[in-house]
Each structure stands twice: as C-alpha cells, then as structure tokens.
Amino acid sequence: MDLATFAVQCLNAVQYGLLLFLVASGLTLIFGIMGVINLAHGSFYMLGAYLAFGLAPLFGQNFVLMLVCGTLLAALFGYLLEWAFFSYLYQRDHLQQVLMTWALILVFEELRSMLVGNDVHGVKAPDWLAGTVALGELMTYPVYRLFASLACLAIGAALWFTVNRTRLGMMIRAGASNRDMVRGLGIPITWLYRVVFAGGVALAALAGMIAAPMSSVYPGMGGHVLIVSFVVVVIGGIGSIPGALVAALLVGLVDTFGKVFFAELSGIGVYLLMAVILVWRPEGLMRKGW
C-alpha cells in the first residue's frame, strides 16, 4: 500500500470513527449516568434516519435547520418515552430495563413498518453539500462526508462543553458518581434523568439524520449500529465522552484496515480489540475521564 492510499484509508477510518462516536455518545451518556443498558439505541438511530427521510423534502436546502428541528423532535420524544416507560424502573434490577428496551425495539420496528412500509429509501444531500473534492488519481471524496465529520466533531465538542462547563453538566456528573448526593443537594434526579435520556435519544437520532444521505434508510438498520456503539462505549469506558471519541477512532481504524488486510476474518477485528483492551484495562480506556 503506497503512502497516498494509506493516507486515504486513514481518512476513511477517521470519518467512520467520528460517525460512530456520535452514535455512541448518546449511548454512553444514558449508560454512564442512568445505568440503563439501552438496547433500543439502534432504534433511535433508525428513527433519526427516517426523520431525515420525512423532513428532507420539507426543508429543501435548509439542511442544518432540518437537523436542528429533527433533533428537537427526537429530544421531545425521548423525554416522553422516559416518562412513560423508564421513570418507574430505576429502583429495580437493571436487567428489567434491558427487557423493556428490547420490547421497545420490537414495537418501533413494527410501527416503522406500519407507518413507512418496508421499502428501502434514499435521502438526498442538499445541493450545497453535493460536490466532491479530488483525492489522488482516481478517487474523489464527497463534500458531504467532510461536512458529516465536522458536524460530528462540533457536536462532540458541544457535548463535552455542556458536561464539563455548565451547571447542568455539573449536575449530570454528580448524578453519575453519586445519585444520593444529588438528591441530597436538592436537585430533582428524576428530572435530570429525563433530560439525560432525552439528550441520548436526540444524539442517536441526530447521528441517524446525518448518516441518512450517505447511507440509505431501510428496515432493521439500527441493529448493526447498536452493537458497534456498545463496543465503542465499553472500550472508551462507560460514561466517558473523550473515551468514546478515542474508542470510536480506534474501532474505525481496526475496521478499515481489517477489511483491507484480513478480508475473511475482518468481522472479528473489532471484537478482538474490545477483548484485548478490556482484559488489559478492565474498566475501559477512560473510565474516570470526565
């Protein structure tokens, strides 16, 4: 592999990693702070992609506005969902919540099938992002992918800022380390959880919306994303946003180069990475890295 190809492959790895990071960030938030193993996260990603499919024609070239509106809708949805299905489960065994999120997957899939049908759909990128830049002799790189990478970085930064530099973030951090303390301080933890859950859903949906024009929108699309995001969350250390970023980039690299060099067994690469890291560091890379 020559240097130019290698550089392009690195770019591919980073771009994939950043998108994974965005999906995983919502998961790590819900997971780290509320301790909920949310199997329905992939469904929220799917929800985002279908939102983009539904909203894109309405917003036309105002793609960014569409992302904002879609995210708000998803956040509202997440807020209601937490209220309806999770708010009374926290005192129980965590595994009960797992069962609940699994049931949600089934319900979401069926609702999707009833509302939108089972066909494969595409979402068009807005014209101002439709171009490509030349890359090496044969290849071009779509501008939209660069936009997506930048968007993921920006959202990641905003998330980091919210968690580390705002009052809400302080409450969230306190809630993650000690629930009783937060309650003692007079902060309504139920409200905090609801906000965190809504935020997690919004992030997953946002990732789905950003991915939609690069990908396609189809039944069962959440399933594959789900398991990879769990891998990212756990490698990075549950609840750690910088950890999720590092882990997502690592997964991107392993996935990309695994496909090139070990085609037959490339499926194993990511899981091997996770096993090795966890055996070496049983709590992930950055457990305490808030």
Partner 1 sequence: MVATLNRWLPLLAALALAALPAVLSPYLQDLVLRVMVLAVFALSLELLVGTTGLVSLGHAAFYGIGAYATVKLSPEFEAGNLLLLLPAAMAAAGVYAAAVGALSLRTKGVYFIMVTLAFAQMAYFVVHDTKAGGGTDGIYLNLRPVLALGGQTLINLDDKRSMYGLALGALVATYALLALLRRSRFGHALAGIRVNEQRMRAAGFSTTLYKWAAFVLAGMLAGLAGFLVAAKDGFVNPEMLSWHESGAVLLVIILGGLGHLRGAVIGAIGFVLLKEALSTPALVGHVLAERWQLTLGLAVMACVALMPKGLIGLARRKESGS
Partner 2 sequence: MPFPFSKLALATAAAALSLGAAAQTPPPLKVGFMLPYTGTFAALGDAIEKGFKLHVDEQGGKLGGRAIQFFKVDDESEPSKATDNVNKLIKRDQVDVIVGTVHSGVALAMARAAKESNTLLIVPNAGADAITGPLCAPNIFRSSFSNWQPGYATGVIAAQKGHKRAMTITWNYAAGTETVKGFTEAFEKGGGKVIKDLSLPFPNVEFQALLTEIAAQKPDVVFAFFAGGGAVKFVKDYDAAGLRKSVPLVASGFLTEGTVPAIGAAGQGLVTAMHYADSMETPRNTAFRNKYAVTYKSNPDVYAVQGYDAAQLLAAGLAAVKGDFAKRSELQAAMNKATIDSPRGKFTLSPQRNPTQDFYVREVKGDYNVMSGVAVKALADPGRGCRI
Q: Does residue 255 touch partner 2 according to CB under 8 A?
A: yes
Question: Would you say 259 or 287 has its CB closer to partner 2?
Answer: 259
Q: Does residue 1 touch partner 2 according to CB under 8 A?
A: yes
Q: Does residue 262 touch partner 2 according to CB under 8 A?
A: no
Q: Does residue 96 touch partner 1 according to CB under 8 A?
A: yes
- Calculate the CA 94 to chain-centre distance: 21
* Radius of gyration from C-alpha coordinates of the chain: 19
* CA-to-CA dists, residue 264 to 164, 174, 274, angstroms: 43, 46, 19
Q: How far apart are CA 230 and CA 277, in angstroms?
A: 14
Q: Does residue 91 touch partner 2 according to CB under 8 A?
A: no
In the bound complex, what is the minimum distance in angstroms from residue 253's beta carbon to partner 1? Answer: 17
Q: How far apart are CA 43 and CA 41, in angstroms?
A: 5
- 119 closest CA partner among 217, 15, 226: 217
* CA-to-CA dists, residue 24 to 27, 114, 201, 247, angstroms: 5, 28, 11, 10
274 binds, among partner 2, partner 1, none (CB under 5 to 8 A by kind): partner 1
Helix axes 189-211, 3-34, angle to 10 degrees: 160
Residue-level length of the chain: 290
Question: Would you say 138 or 263 has its CB closer to partner 1?
Answer: 263
- Binding to partner 1 (CB under 8 A) within 208-237 occurs at 227, 230-231, 234
Q: How far apart are CA 110 and CA 102, in angstroms?
A: 13
Work out the angle at residue 33's Cα, subtended by the Cα atoms of residues 28 and 34, and round it to the nearest 5 degrees: 105
Cβ atoms of 276 and 159 closer than 8 Å: no
Q: Does residue 216 touch partner 2 according to CB under 8 A?
A: yes
Token representation of residue 25 = 């960030």
Q: Does residue 165 touch partner 2 according to CB under 8 A?
A: no
Q: Which stretch binds partner 1 (CB under 8 A): 9-17, 143-151, 213-221, 275-283?
A: 275-283
Site string for partner 2, 217-236 (x = CB under 8 A): xxxxx--x------------
In the bound complex, what is the minimum distance in angstroms from residue 41's beta carbon to partner 1? Answer: 14
188 binds, among partner 2, partner 1, none (CB under 5 to 8 A by kind): none
Binding region for partner 2 (CB under 8 A): 1-2, 5, 8-9, 12-13, 15-16, 109-110, 113, 117-122, 124, 132, 134-142, 144-145, 214-221, 224, 255-257, 259-260, 263-264, 266-267
Binding region for partner 1 (CB under 8 A): 31, 37, 39, 85, 88-89, 92-93, 95-96, 98-100, 102-107, 109-111, 114, 227, 230-231, 234, 238, 264-268, 271-272, 274-275, 278-279, 282-284
